Amino acid sequence: MRPVAILGAGMTKFGRSDSTLADLMSEASVAALRDATMGNRSVDAVVVANMGAARINRQTAIASALVDRLNLFPAAAETVENGPASGASAVKVGVQAIAAGMADIVLVTGVEKMRAVNNLEATDFVASLSHPEAEYVYGVTLPSLAGMFARLYMSRYGLTRRHLAMVSIKNHANAMRNPYAHIHQEITMEGILDAPEARVNNPPIAEPLHLYDCCPVSDGAASLVLASLDVVQHLDRPDSVVMIAGIGQATDTHAVHERSEPTELSAVRLAADQAFDRAGVGPGEIDVAELHDAFTVLEIAESEAAGFFPRGEGHVALEQGVTSLGGALPINPSGGLKGRGHPVGATGVAQLVELTWQLRGDAGARQVAGAGNGFACNFGGFGNNVVATVLRSERRDHG
């Protein structure tokens, strides 16, 4: 299998945008293409990650639309839909094309234009990933699955609402240093939990999860240019290159109640194990991680399932500052989904854009010093389809 490098990375600011779906994906793509010095090489294939264009934006076949916008014909193109894990899945499809020798350079762009509809409609759209007869029909929306999971997890492992609030505060603070983040607002423990006014500031969404435990609804796009390493080596590049060291993926039961052990994110564990195995590194060698904190409880649970902390001890690491920007394993330096925002199809790609910047030393005020290995977890469905990715910075041989 041919090794795959990241040649270029770019994204739009996430948030509430007047741009159309096509504008967003073009903007991110152009940023990544400009970042990738490709000489006179061209893009062989385009993979777009998106969950809701057909429903929310009434557009289909958007990868073909992107090829047109960027004049990339006759490149191959398709759209990948894997719910909230669409982004990492699209990267995986691009990697597979290069690894198999079917493409040398692939543009992967994740996009979501969620605010074309109101929040009720957006909530219902995301709820469509739940099981139609066994969950959705009961009024289940994604926050309810997270709420039920959180209650069980907290009861079993002793996490409290204060721990969840710590995740939110940390990610809001990190997002302040990220110009691309949706949310630029510091929050405090007093304001969201301790003051009597917190009950209005931070109302329940799906008990025990509250407003500040849930990521925002965002528009945005993120983009990577992937290339086979031998292509990269013929180009004028700096001394190190960010490689996709390993990708893993695993699935689990659709209905959350059918999971063999309801507090276990086994798809996260299996996907992470596979990614680490393929990358030839273990969790202990990871310097920085982007985890899928659609709900604050998930950052903690994923950090354990991926192997960074023993089961039930992720909140202890959080308390000790291990996962803060200055800690031993910063998690979500970008602000995560909570702070950076969550345009569903774009998130998986945005996680890898952030890690690319971190591993290149280009992350500015949120730089994790000396980051050499990065890990991302993109959580699809409610944990029934997870893609994990390990990135590594490698020194290049010259000549």
Partner 1 sequence: MADQIQGPAIVTGSRCRSCSTVSYPQHALCPVCGHDGFDPVPIAGAGNVLTYTDLYALSLAYAQRYLRLAIVQLDGGLRVTGQLLDPDPQMGKRVKTKIGVIRESEGGKVYGLQFVPVQTSVSDVDPG
Partner 2 sequence: MTSSDALEALLRPPAMDMPPYPPKAITLASGETMVVRQVARDEVPILLEAIRPLLQMERDYYDIVSARLYGELLAYKRYRVLDEYCLAGLINGELAGVVNGRLVDAKVGMSYHTLTLRRGLRVGSHLFAAKMEYHIDILGQEEVLIVAESPIGFRRWMIEYPLDKKHEVQHELGGVPSWVLTVDTYRKAKPRLCAGRRPVPEELLEEARVIRVPEGETAVVQFYGKEEAADDGLQGGAE
Q: Which residues sit at the interface with partner 1, rule CB under 8 A?
A: 120-121, 123-124, 127, 131, 133-135, 137-141, 143-144, 147-149, 151-152, 155, 203-209, 214, 254-258, 262
Show the site string, 89-128: x = touches partner 2 by CB under 8 A, - = not.
--------------------------x--xxx-x------
* Rounded alpha-carbon distances, angstroms, from residue 366 to 171, 326, 332, 355, 371: 11, 9, 10, 11, 12
CB 393 within 8 A of CB 242: yes
Closest CA to 85 of 285, 247, 228: 247
Q: 262 contacts which partner out of partner 2, partner 1, none, CB within 5 to 8 A by kind?
A: partner 1
Considering only residues 172 through 211, tell me which ones interact with partner 2, judged by CB under 8 A.
172, 182-188, 190-192, 195-202, 205, 211
List C-alpha distances in Å: 116 to 15, 28, 39, 52, 306. 12, 19, 38, 11, 35
| Closer Cβ to partner 1, 124 or 277, answer by number | 124
Report CA Rg, the chain: 20
Number of helices and strands in the chain (H, E): 14, 11
CB of 268 to partner 1, least distance (A): 19
Provide, rounded to whole angstroms, the least separation between the CB of residue 87 and partner 1: 23
Nearer to partner 1, 147 or 283 (CB): 147
Question: CB under 5 to 8 A by kind: which of partner 1, partner 2, none does 277 bind?
Answer: none
From residue 247, alpha-carbon distances to 228, 276, 292, 329 in Å are 15, 8, 16, 20
Decide whether 94 or 208 has the Cβ nearer to partner 1.
Answer: 208
Q: What span, in angstroms and rounded, lies between the C-alpha atoms of 208 and 145?
A: 11
Under the criterion CB under 8 A, does residue 216 sit at the interface with partner 2?
A: yes
Instruction: Report the alpha-carbon distance of residue 300 to residue 309 in Å, rounded.
Output: 9
What SS3 state is found at 61? Answer: coil
To which residue do tokens 């730089």 refer? 367
User: Which of 139/196 has CB closer to partner 1?
Assistant: 139
Q: Which is nearer to partner 2, 107 or 187 (CB)?
A: 187
Residue 182 binding target from partner 2, partner 1, none, CB below 5 to 8 Å by type: partner 2
Tell me which residues touch partner 2 (CB under 8 A).
15-16, 115, 118-120, 122, 172, 182-188, 190-192, 195-202, 205, 211-212, 214-218
